[in-house]
Copies of this chain bind each other. A is one copy, B any other.
Amino acid sequence: MTQPDFHTRRSVAQVEEGTQLAPKFDRDGLLPCITTDAQSGELLMLGWMDADALRRTLCTGEAHYFSRARGCLWHKGASSGLVQQVVEARIDDDQDALWLRVRVAGSGASCHVGYRSCFYRAVPLRAEAGAPLVFTESRKTFEPQEVYGDAPTPTRL
């Protein structure tokens, strides 16, 4: 696989104003990745990438993440069929966060719980302490049990 050159971070001007890709991974070797639907603009998920996942994403045009729950490379959609085709990738000012605009295959969902977006609950503002979250999607796009079977949930307490 051809590897995109990740440049060494040498100066603030280079990182912020330059045209060299010089990503900053955190101390676990990970970079947060925001993924939105390229057509609707809807926020789908926040994932994490290590250098390998980032290289594979940029080389193949399909979103790859690092699964923190399973501790391994995660080709999104490999088990669910909900592959994310990358329409555009962007890096932020200090190059420690990525944004992918994607087209999702199949039902268009990106959330392992079965909703379209992982962000399916609103948090009340200026509310009483303990005010309940409000669901913003009324139904699931798939039943996780049918897609993932008995695979363990990635959610950690």
Contacts and interface: CB of A to CB of B under 8 A. Distances in A.
Contacts of A136: 90
Given A34-B34, A43-B34, A155-B12, A120 B93 contact: yes
A148 to B, nearest CB: 13
Contacts of A61: 125-126
Interface residues of A, number: 68
This chain's copy number in the assembly: 2
A94 B152 CA distance: 14
B21 A123 contact: yes
A5 B122 CA distance: 15
Interface in A71-101: 86, 88-94, 97-99
Contacts of A124: 58
Interface string A6-37: 01011110011111110010000000101010
